Amino acid sequence: MAIGASDFRRLERSNRRRSAALIILFALLVTGLGLCLDLMLGNLAWQEDGEIVGFPTLSLAALIIASVQAAISYYGGSSLILAAMHARPLEADSPKNLMALDVVREMAIAARVPTPKVYVIDDPAPNAFATGRDPAHAAICLTQGLIDTMDREQLQGVVGHEMAHIRNYDTRLMTMVAVMVGAVALLADFLHRWIWFGGFGRNNSERKDAAGGGFAPALVVIVGILSPLISRLIAMAISRQREYLADAASVEFTRNPRGLLRALEQIAAQSSPLKHAFRATAHLFIVNPMTDNDSEDGEGIFDRLFSTHPPLKERIARLRAMLGESGSSVAVRANPTSIST
């Protein structure tokens, strides 16, 4: 499955368009929350003739906040994510760590990108992610469990996968997604608390009348519920297709499908969710860090819609097809009690 330079340039242009669309959608979501609050607090009021009067103070403030948040996610989102995951720079203080650093340099040369900074998460779960706004400001983060349990061939496959995200600018898009999803979730949480702890109390009857009776409260509830849901669905849809492409690009860099294949099979056979995993950053990782196995292998439409990653068994099957093999040597266990993200 060869991927040419023209394909990556096309993907980079696509990612830039998606980044711009994501910023616009994020601004609309946050501004919509501000507009609902303006209606509830009486900053805006419906007139009998249908005209809206007043000044949208909170909507304007929300738009400013959205713009600042977009800038932060672009320039500082990578640092925020690494800090949230308790990542630290990887030191060459053991043979395994030294091997990991060597593999990152090898894969950077193969991908023709600057060598990214390398971080480690002190967690036994085997996992990895890449972040950064462009190849010159990128970082790869590996868990200690991945470094300790993978051999060189497997590590090359995993690092090649993450290097693909750096090369095709997935890291920019997914870093912005992670920070923005988290921001929308925080705003929605604030709105929910405001609703249930006095926002629609008896003292607000005049405000509700000015805002159009029961319309504004209903609108606030709907927007508050749908905003985080929409942002998560966007993050999941963006993530799923990019995992397949990164798998293929890893094979291009390593010239060896078996390395990534063996790594994914080993991960699938283990039962170890990441200790400090967050829903907002789950789509960054090579496999879902929120579950104790690849429980996103459901075949139903809702299983696919609400999964951050494509089914692991399908990724394994594609890699086996590159080797002229069929099936998978690992039965990926479905766990109905796992948390779907």
Enumerate the active-site residues. 162
Contact between residue 80 and residue 135 where contact means Cβ atoms under 8 Å apart: no
- What is d(CA 138, CA 131) in angstroms, rounded to the nearest whole number? 6
Q: Token pair of 329, please?
A: 């040597």
Element (H, E) at 111: helix 95-111
Note the Cα 280 to chain centre separation in Å: 6
| HEC per residue, 187-238 | HHHHHHHHHHHHHCCHHHHHHHHHCCCCHHHHHHHHHHHHHHHHHHHHHHHH
State whether the Cα torsion 79-123-273-294 is positive or negative: positive
Long-range contacts of 200-206 (CB under 8 A, 24+ apart): 200/40, 204/40, 206/42
